[in-house]
């Protein structure tokens, strides 16, 4: 089963602590991989970035932006997206 974010805790700056539905938890510094351009430009402001919430298992902000939980899970666990999808397909088939 593909994972969903269950809780998010802002840690200051562009850092968030994420917890997933399988109990995996980890901290990510989004400044190291998220380009604050286009629809993500408002996220450059740490106060706006900290206004994040979880909706339907993913991170969301008030400007209707969100981030794919598969990408977030990959970053927290250090597993590639391809590996996670292959594992999901093996369970389904």
Residue extents of the structural domains in the chain: 5-86
What is the pTM assigned to this prediction?
0.92
Q: What is the mean pLDDT of the chain?
A: 95
Residues 6+ apart with CB under 8 A from 66: 55, 58, 59, 60
Q: Which of 89, 69, 83, 85 is nearest to 22 (CA)?
A: 69
Question: In the CATH scheme, what is the homologous superfamily, with its name and number, of domain 5-86?
Answer: NE0471-like N-terminal domain (3.30.2020.10)
> What is the per-residue pLDDT across 13-53, written as a single tens digit (0 to 9) for each?
999 999 999 999 999 999 999 999 999 999 999 999 999 99
pLDDT of residue 92: 76
What's the rounded Cα separation, in Å, for the pair 62 and 51? 8
pLDDT of residue 91: 79
What percent of the chain has a predicted confidence (pLDDT) above 90? 90
Q: Which residue has the tokens 């430009």?
A: 41
């Amino acid at each position: 089963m593909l994972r969903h974010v269950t809780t998010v805790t802002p840690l200051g700056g562009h850092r968030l602590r994420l917890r997933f539905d399988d109990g995996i938890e980890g901290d990510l510094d989004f400044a190291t991989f998220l380009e604050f351009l286009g629809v993500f430009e408002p996220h450059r402001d740490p106060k706006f970035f900290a206004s994040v919430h979880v909706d339907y298992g993913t991170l969301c902000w008030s400007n209707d932006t969100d981030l794919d939980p598969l990408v977030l899970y990959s970053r927290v666990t250090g597993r590639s997206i391809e590996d996670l999808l292959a594992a999901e397909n093996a369970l389904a088939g």
